[in-house]
Amino acid sequence: MNPLRTLRQRLRRWFHERLPRSDTLTLTQRNVYILPTRAGWMLAVTLLVLLVGSINYQLNLGYLLTFLLAGSAVVGMHIGHANLRGLTLHLTPPAPVHAGQPALLDIRLSSERRRDRHGIGLGVIADGGLGDTHLGWADVPAQGSSTVQVAWTAPRRGVHALPALTALTLFPLGTFRVWTVWRPAATLLVYPAAEQHPPPLPAGQPQAGPTGPSTTTQSPGEFDGVRAYRRGDPQKTIVWKKAAQAFATGRNELVSRDALSAQRQQLWLDFAQTGTHEVEARLSRLAAWVLLADRLGLDYGLRLPGTELPPDQGLAHKTRCLEALATC
């Protein structure tokens, strides 16, 4: 890699590390930066040529034109800086995503100024610097706010600090780039990517309990321990979730938990028994199984090296399991 580029990246990282993390950032004189763009330098050269032309041909109107353009550019510089200064950026903590999926960062821009703010771009600062950054654009109305969504894909599962973001404007003439660097405090939880076509759920395991090990083995496919409702089944064994789905599709069928199997069989998603060896592949499969089991409305437990989540169901349980998978 180009050593200069590496050096610049390192400098940028060092600079970013120094910034305090915060989910709300109000832009002031101190954290808004401004530098001429390439177009700005082009304008400077144009102004110089105009000036030399005016001097050489002794054109007083040429002077007027040159100085009016220069004055407008100077005013444009101030307008551009004021366009960003005083803006407040607020990040809503992002929802967890699976590895490989882009996380959407919702950023609210609010302004107390009595004039509109135009053309403010937000984005995650790319490795190549601001020039490579992909930006989402927004106008902020006077004394109002608007929202920009910035997508960011985390490199792998785990808890990630959000990358440095930038708010940038080229308004009004494109001759000055006014920008800020913002390190949000929020973190992003990234679950392992769910395997695309996972194998069926593993067979249930006999429940260790007073009844002792059961001799009944279930054929694959009946692992879930549900069967059609039979008259006399106690109400609490009815799988209401399934019932609701069935009613919704127009069938009047009830499904009961097979008391026997529900008591005797427990679904354990075990890190050691995924059928693959590679750690990430195992986690990926487990994540897929968690999602599958949750969709089927089963009780399931998760066994990871050093962690064990007892069988349960529901959203909170699913989240707990995925979190465990993300952070193990």
Partner 1 sequence: MLTSEVLRRDNWASRLPRDARDTLFLLVVIGWIAAMQIPHVPWWCSMLAAGVLGWRTAITLRGQPLPAWPWRLGLLLLTLGATWLSHRTLLGRDAGVTLIVVLLALKTLELRARRDAFVVFFLGFFTLLTHFFFSQSLLTAAGILLALLGLLTALVNAHLPVGRPPLMRSARIAAGMAALGAPIMLVLFLLFPRMAPLWGLPDDANTGRSGLSNRMQVGQIARLVLDDGIALRVRFDGPPPPQSQLYFRGPVLSDFNGIEWRPLRSSFPPDMAPTANLAVRGDPVGYELTLEPHQRRWLLTLDAATQAPEAAGLSASMTPELQWVAAAPVTQLLRYRAQSFTDFRHGPLEASVALQDELTLPPGYNPRTLALAVELRAQHGAGPQNAPALVNAVLDRLRTGGYQYTLEPGEYGANTADEFWFDKRAGFCEHIASSFVILMRAMDIPARLVTGYQGGELNGVDGYWTVRQRDAHAWTEVWLQGQGWVRVDPTSAVAPGRIGAFERLSAPGGVFTGAIGTLNPTLAAQLREVWEAVNNRWNQWVLNYTQGQQLNLLKNLGFSSPSWADLAYVLIGIVVLVSLAGAGWQLWERQQHDPWLRLLQRCQRRLQAAGLDAPAATTPRALATQVQRHFGDTDFSRRVTQWLIRLEALRYAPHSPDTLATLRREWQQLAWPKESPR
Binding site for partner 1 (CB under 8 A): 22, 24, 26, 38-39, 42-43, 46, 49-50, 52-76, 79, 88, 118-119, 121, 137-139, 170-174
User: Do 284 and 277 touch, CB atoms closer than 8 A?
Assistant: no
Which is closer to partner 1, CB of 140 or CB of 309?
Answer: 140
Judged by DSSP in three states, 70 sits in: helix
SS3 for 226-252, per residue? EEECCCCCCHHHECHHHHHHHHHCCCC
Query: What would the DSSP string read from start to end of 204-219?
Result: PEEPPSTT------PP
CB of 116 to partner 1, least distance (A): 9
Which is closer to partner 1, CB of 116 or CB of 308?
Answer: 116
CB of 80 to partner 1, least distance (A): 9
Q: How far apart are CA 21 and CA 184, in angstroms?
A: 5
Enter the tokens of residue 211: 């009844």
CB of 47 to partner 1, least distance (A): 8
Which is closer to partner 1, CB of 56 or CB of 217?
Answer: 56
Q: How far is residue 9 CA from its own chain's centroid?
A: 23
CB of 303 to partner 1, least distance (A): 36
CB of 54 to partner 1, least distance (A): 7
Which is closer to partner 1, CB of 21 or CB of 320?
Answer: 21
Which is closer to partner 1, CB of 43 or CB of 286?
Answer: 43
Reduced DSSP (H G I as helix, E B as strand, rest coil) percent helix, strand, coil of the chain, to 5: 35, 30, 35
Which is closer to partner 1, CB of 183 or CB of 257?
Answer: 183
CB of 159 to partner 1, least distance (A): 19
User: Do 192 and 325 touch, CB atoms closer than 8 A?
Assistant: yes
Enter the tokens of residue 125: 């600062």
Q: Where are the alpha helices (DSSP H) in the chain?
A: 3-18, 38-57, 60-84, 240-248, 259-264, 279-296, 315-327
Handedness of CA 218, 220, 225, 229 (dihedral sign): negative
User: Do 208 and 113 touch, CB atoms closer than 8 A?
Assistant: no
Element (H, E) at 176: strand 176-182
CB of 132 to partner 1, least distance (A): 15
- Number of DSSP helices (H) and strands (E) in the chain, helices first: 7, 19
Which is closer to partner 1, CB of 38 or CB of 241?
Answer: 38
Q: How far apart are CA 15 and CA 9, in angstroms?
A: 10
Which is closer to partner 1, CB of 96 or CB of 172?
Answer: 172
CB of 326 to partner 1, least distance (A): 24
Judged by DSSP in three states, 165 sits in: strand
CB of 143 to partner 1, least distance (A): 14
Which is closer to partner 1, CB of 61 or CB of 248?
Answer: 61
